[in-house]
Amino acid sequence: MERIPLIGEGFPDMEVQTTHGRMFLPKDFSGKWFVLFSHPADFTPVCTTEFVAFQKRIDDFRTLKCELIGLSIDQVFSHIKWVQWISETLKVKIEFPVIADDMGRIAGTLGLIHPRKGTNTVRAVFIVDPKGVIRAILYYPQEVGRNMDEILRMVRAFCVADKNGVAIPANWPENELIGDEVIIPPATDERSAAERMKSNTCYDWWFCHKKV
């Protein structure tokens, strides 16, 4: 059995049918971040709340040059009708494309079907960077909806980390120790360990932080 892709590897090349037509991943998002998220099924309550939550934050994602794309094993006709229902009933227009994986090919490649959780896709999230590299993978059970603010926070954190060569603390930007500051990578020798204590705010030589 072919193994699923891992963090740090390139997102698999694939042609997909979506509600916005044929797309090629990750090529069509080249130069941008994208979040691919799977949902168990169309016309289900939790998934509906997730689609609305993603759409409500789409401008925040796009500010980070990040696009969204959904996926389930439903047919494209079901996706189209469901998106129409959300627009007509909930007055929320879904702007991101939704992949129709009715043959389960993509779900198999990405490891989205977990036998002990039924035959539908679990709630998975792949965060992919502008070079097409997978930076994070999240899996949620079918019965628990995702926190979109956390997914948005992760994309924002990756952007800050990549731009500044730093690490991001827990609960950033509201960390319990250093607030909205970021962590400077550890020193690699005794001299730099001593110097960094003079020029940075530190708890110790291995725990220094700064504002960006």
| Mean pLDDT in order along the chain per 10 residues (212 residues) | 86 96 98 96 96 98 98 95 98 98 89 77 94 96 93 98 97 98 92 86 93 94
Nearest alpha carbon to residue 146 among 136, 134, 133: 136
DSSP label at 120?
S
- 73-to-18, 37, 102 alpha-carbon distances in Å: 12, 12, 4
- Amino acid 100 reads A
Burial of 148 (0-12, 13-18, 19+ CB in 10 A): buried
The domain ranges of the chain are 14-146, 165-212
CATH classification number, 165-212, choose in 3.40.630.30, 3.40.30.10, 3.20.20.70, 3.30.1020.10? 3.30.1020.10
Q: Helix-strand-coil percent breakdown of the chain, rounded to 5?
A: 35, 25, 40
- 15-to-22, 24, 32 alpha-carbon distances in Å: 7, 5, 18
Euclidean distance between CA atoms 198 and 117, whole angstroms: 53
Q: Is 168 left (phi over 0), alpha (psi -120 to 50) or beta?
A: beta
Euclidean distance between CA atoms 16 and 39, whole angstroms: 16
Q: Which residues are catalytic?
A: 47
pLDDT at res. 2: 65
Q: At what angle do helices 76-90 and 45-56 cross, to 10 degrees?
A: 70
Q: Give me the CATH topology for the region 14-146.
A: Glutaredoxin (3.40.30)
pLDDT at res. 120: 80
